[in-house]
Amino acid sequence: MENRVIPFSPPDITQQEIDAVVEVMKSGWITSGPRTALLEEKIKEYCSVKNAVTVASNSQGMDLVFKVLNISPDSEIITTPYTYVATANTALHRGIKPTFVDLKKDTFFMDEEKLFDAITPKTKAIITVDVAGVPVDYDAVRAVLKAKNREDILLVSDSAHSFGAKYKGKRVGNQFDFHIYSFHAVKNLTTAEGGAITFDGDHGHEDLKKVFKYTSLNGQSKDALSKMKAGAWKYDVLTDGLKCNMTDIAAAIGLVQLERYEDMIRRRKDIAQLYHKMFADKEWAILPVFVDEKMESSYHLYLLRIKGFTEKKRNKLIENLAEMGIATNVHYTPIPMFTYYKQIGYSIEDYPNTLAQYENEITLPLYSILSLSDAEYVAENVIKWVEKLK
């Protein structure tokens, strides 16, 4: 079998996106402006929500939510140890050491029973994570809060992976108080760097979207486009804000991507189904679930788990595939395994189900410009090397 070069997750960029960026560059206005505002409107329509605010990244979107909602250092934030570190860093940025809840056995999501037990009178927010584009069971999390008589807790979905996913037939976007997306280069829809917050309620503010917008501009009352108008230089500072606005360059990419997005998701679905078909008769293959009675994933990542594999064998499989030109990944190294988090007191031994999910997981290439032929090559080599290593 010949070697090919198959990267893990390159962006799907066409001449349309390139032309859109060139148009912005020629326009004389490259930071936040009309295209950013238009992308917010398009996201709002696509997700069927009342509000959408673009930001420079998913991470900064989470920071912005907790800043504006005034989650204080004497509060508690509960989240999952099985996510990208940005989710937990959000709590640390507010001066809060996050409370991790172990996964439900054989899933990538927090155990609801353990979540119930983790809630204390100081709990102010819970951050769930739509791992690989699969929506969390939002109703189950809400049921925990109801059973605990704590429906005052802020529910934030780190929906970095799940733009376009569906829950109970409706696109993800307002099932929780806030959903925060990532449009990073490896995501289904990219703006190179960027993200968005979607929400319905104002949470005690007269106009929460307006508060998010000026807080994302260092707290100043006017954006740069408004200030540049003749005679309109004067502005006020309304809060000690952040600087995390999206640019019109990024938004121009996102607008084209959004026009193409449903076709891109369909392509990802075709690849996922091909992998499923090729692994279907392998007793060692624990396949990811993309659709069930409540949800449909955005087909962001293909998280394959291999029955009986140790971390060492999984890592050897990754090396062998790399020698065949196939780039793979692991989602995720659990947060308690990182040096910084160990230094501040976390231990992976406290999260056995999380460790078990990590040890035998390998993420296969899944993106809209991957050919079915290359996907078949990936699957054939996974099968070959797994069966050699078992």
Q: In 10 A of CB 11, how many CB atoms?
A: 18
Q: What integer best gives the mean pLDDT of the chain?
A: 97
pLDDT at 1: 56
pLDDT at 228: 75
pLDDT at 390: 85
Q: Which residues of 286-314 are buried (b: 16+ CB within 10 A; e: fewer)?
A: bebebeeeebbbbbbbbbbbbeebeeebb
∠ CA(216), CA(156), CA(158), 5° rounding?
Answer: 80
CATH code, 15-256: 3.40.640.10
Task: Find the mean pLDDT for residues 309-330.
Answer: 98
pLDDT at 161: 98
Q: In 10 A of CB 330, how many CB atoms?
A: 15
Contact 58, 181 (CB under 8 A): yes
Look at residue 226 and tell me whether its pLDDT is greater than 90: no
Look at residue 75 and tell me whether its pLDDT is greater than 90: yes
pLDDT at 289: 98
CA-CA distance, 163 to 353, in Å (whole number)? 27
* Cis upstream peptide for 332 (omega within 30°): yes
Give the class (CATH, top level) of 261-389: alpha beta
Closest by CA to 366, choosing from 353, 356, 355, 379, is 379
Look at residue 142 and tell me whether its pLDDT is greater than 70: yes
CA-CA distance, 71 to 177, in Å (whole number)? 14
Look at residue 360 and tell me whether its pLDDT is greater than 70: yes
Task: Find the mean pLDDT for residues 338-350.
Answer: 98
**Largest distance between two CA atoms of the chain:** 73
Query: Percentage of residues in the chain with pLDDT exceeding 70?
Result: 100
Element (H, E) at 7: none
| Predicted confidence (pLDDT) per residue in 160-193, tens digit | 999 999 999 999 999 999 999 999 999 999 999 9
CA-CA distance, 329 to 334, in Å (whole number)? 14
| Predicted confidence (pLDDT) per residue in 262-296, tens digit | 999 999 999 999 999 999 999 999 999 999 999 99
Q: How confident is the model at residue 227 (pLDDT cuts 50, 70, 90)?
A: confident
Domain residue extents for the chain: 15-256, 261-389
pLDDT at 229: 82
Q: In 10 A of CB 252, how many CB atoms?
A: 26
Which position has the higher pLDDT, 231 or 45? 45
Tokens of 157: 């979905």
Closest by CA to 274, choosing from 363, 186, 378, 187, is 378
Look at residue 331 and tell me whether its pLDDT is greater than 60: yes
Query: Percentage of residues in the chain with pLDDT exceeding 90?
Result: 96
Task: Find the mean pLDDT for residues 31-54.
Answer: 98
Query: What's the first-to-final CA gap in the chain, in angstroms?
Result: 21
pLDDT at 225: 77
